[in-house]
Structure 1
Amino acid sequence: MTLSLIALILLTGAPCSSATSLSHDFRYTYGCYESKDVRVDVLLDDDVCGYADFSKGEIVCAMPHLPDYLKPFTKRVYEIAEHAIEHCHSVLGKAKHADSGAALQQEAPGTSIYTRYEGEDGVLNTIFCLASHFYPPTINFTWTKNEVTITEGALDHRYRHNSDGTFHRISSLSFTPREGDVYSCTVEHQALRQPLTRSWELQKTRSSLTPAAVFLAVSLVLCLMGIGAGAFFFTKQSN
């Protein structure tokens, strides 16, 4: 079933100020789906700093170090998140009745694939598959190794908001590259006519010798051979 999303961006009040008098934009977004799920994200200067976990009954921090002046707000934000559930479904219901035949907005994703570190044969690494600027936020990642589907070591990270209302999401895979292996990430989204696939394989190690270096080495060997031959004949004639 196609999922519909109503996303509302609301300011929580005046921008927060730290002890250093630096002003920050502190707000939250929430969206609800026909599946009854609701997601609430807390944004600090347009970056997601936390999200509501309704199973734990708290705001989960998504930043390594949450500023101290924001910690007192987390309890209040969770209360807002709880109120958002009823309100969001109410808005979704009104929107469906207002224009039940309206086509759902769709934006197809762009994709890219890259690794955490430069690939080395036999060295543990992480490969990332990025799907960006898509809508609605429903997307599927599939990893394959040499055209065989793999799930071990794969992790789909949370959806992230973009400033234009679209979303991006990353899937990662922990792996140990070997020369000859081909890893692929396939992305499926309802706005795509066909799935997008990006592939990655370990680059073969190339010789570090340049043509000039090879010419120099050959010339040096020939020179040494000439000197050796000359010394041999000189010694022979002396005897």
Structure 2
Amino acid sequence: MAGADRSGVLVTGLVRVALAAVVSEEPPVHALAEVLFCQAAVPSLGLALAFDEDQLFWFDFPGSRWTPRLPDLPSWPPTLEPPAELLRDATLCQDLRRALTALVTGVVPESKGIPVADVFPMRPVTLGEPNTLVCMVGNIFPPAVEISWQLDGDPVTQGVTHTHYTPTADLAFVRFSYLPVTPAAGDIYACVVTREGDNTSVITYWVPQNPVPSEVLETALCGAAMALGILLALLGIAMILVARRSTHG
């Protein structure tokens, strides 16, 4: 698959394989995708291998090596797609991008996705205890956004890490950003996503809320159940008295 627009982005799917189990009536379909993109913006090149939109490896073009998304993944086989071959593909991608951009500029409308950000903690929140906030940014196209963090309106940069762009089935990209935090009452965190070129920003806020301890919750539920039982008992007595008065009357 390939696509280009006036923004000068060329996305090429090098490999897309459907894997299906043959034992079920409606077999699940899985996608293994290796996607190369090139553009005039930064980053100018990107290459990722994803399984069901979960990134497994990304290619470090300056270092000419495959890098696993998670440290537990095995190393990339050195004989499979050597760096020299991928660099030739990258050069071809840039040449095609420039040629297609010259052809479609002013003819084909520019394609841009509005990023959608979601912020959530990596672990259950307890005020005063270290945690990590995750900002998941989807619907990215072209793959050129800046992700930053704020705490109470002030920029936060210490400990911030970002993933590389991961291709999705709808020909867009997703990217993650991580911020180590120690949440406190009243904190207001913000994930700011800015598109390059037009400086359009999408901001998603997150406010820590300390969950109710289980012992307090159990006590409250027991108290509510007891109060409800007493109320029902009083209601039953009142109904009996009303029925007796009606009978004697």
What's the TM-score, normalizing by structure 2?
A: 0.69
Pairing partner for 2:9 from 5, 12, 17: 5
- The answer on whether the counterparts of 2:36 and 2:45 sit within 8 Å (CA) in structure 1 is yes
5 Å-filtered alignment, 1:28-107, equals 28-35=34-41, 37-44=44-51, 47-66=54-73, 71-74=77-80, 76-101=81-106, 102-107=108-113
Q: What is the identity, as a one-letter code, of the residue corresponding to 1:185? A: C
Percent identical pairs in the alignment equals 19
Secondary structure at the aligned position of 2:59 is classed as: strand
- The answer on whether the counterparts of 1:153 and 1:175 sit within 8 Å (CA) in structure 2 is no
The structure with higher relative contact order (CA 8 Å, sep 6+) is: 2
5 Å-filtered alignment, 1:193-232, equals 195-204=201-210, 206=212, 207-208=216-217, 209-210=219-220, 213=223
Secondary structure at the aligned position of 2:83 is classed as: helix
5 Å-filtered alignment, 1:183-198, equals 183-189=189-195, 195-198=201-204
Match of 1:227 in 2: none
C-alpha change, 1:164 and 1:171, in structure 2 (3 Å) is same
Structure 1 residue 26 displacement after superposition: 5.8
> Where does the alignment leave 5 or more consecutive residues of structure 2 unmatched?
1-5, 20-29, 228-249
Structure 1 residue 189 displacement after superposition: 2.8
How many residue pairs are counted as aligned between the two chains? 205
Pairwise CA RMSD: 3.3
Q: What is the identity, as a one-letter code, of the residue corresponding to 2:12? A: L
Does residue 136 (structure 1) correspond to residue 136 (structure 2)? The answer is no
Residues 136-165 of structure 1 show CA distances to partners (whole Å, capped at 9, x for unaligned) of: 111122311122221112222211110111
C-alpha change, 1:57 and 1:188, in structure 2 (3 Å) is closer
Q: What is the identity, as a one-letter code, of the residue corresponding to 1:124? A: P
Give the 4+ runs in structure 1 shifted more than 6 A: 190-193
- The answer on whether the counterparts of 1:146 and 1:183 sit within 8 Å (CA) in structure 2 is yes
Residues 83-138 of structure 1 show CA distances to partners (whole Å, capped at 9, x for unaligned) of: 11220111112101212213321111222110011111210000011111221111
Q: Larger Cα Rg: Structure 1 or Structure 2?
A: 1
> Where does the alignment leave 5 or more consecutive residues of structure 1 unmatched?
16-23, 218-239
- The answer on whether the counterparts of 1:107 and 1:191 sit within 8 Å (CA) in structure 2 is no
CA distance in 1, matches of 2:41, 2:206: 36
Structure 1 residue 64 displacement after superposition: 4.4
Structure 1 residue 39 displacement after superposition: 1.8
CA distance in 1, matches of 2:208, 2:16: 48
C-alpha change, 1:184 and 1:122, in structure 2 (3 Å) is same
Residues 201-234 of structure 1 show CA distances to partners (whole Å, capped at 9, x for unaligned) of: 22245453327517959xxxxxxxxxxxxxxxxx
Residues 7-43 of structure 1 show CA distances to partners (whole Å, capped at 9, x for unaligned) of: 1112399x9xxxxxxxx97653211122583222234
Q: What is the identity, as a one-letter code, of the residue corresponding to 2:118? A: S
CA distance in 2, matches of 1:142, 1:122: 23
Q: What is the identity, as a one-letter code, of the residue corresponding to 1:99? A: V
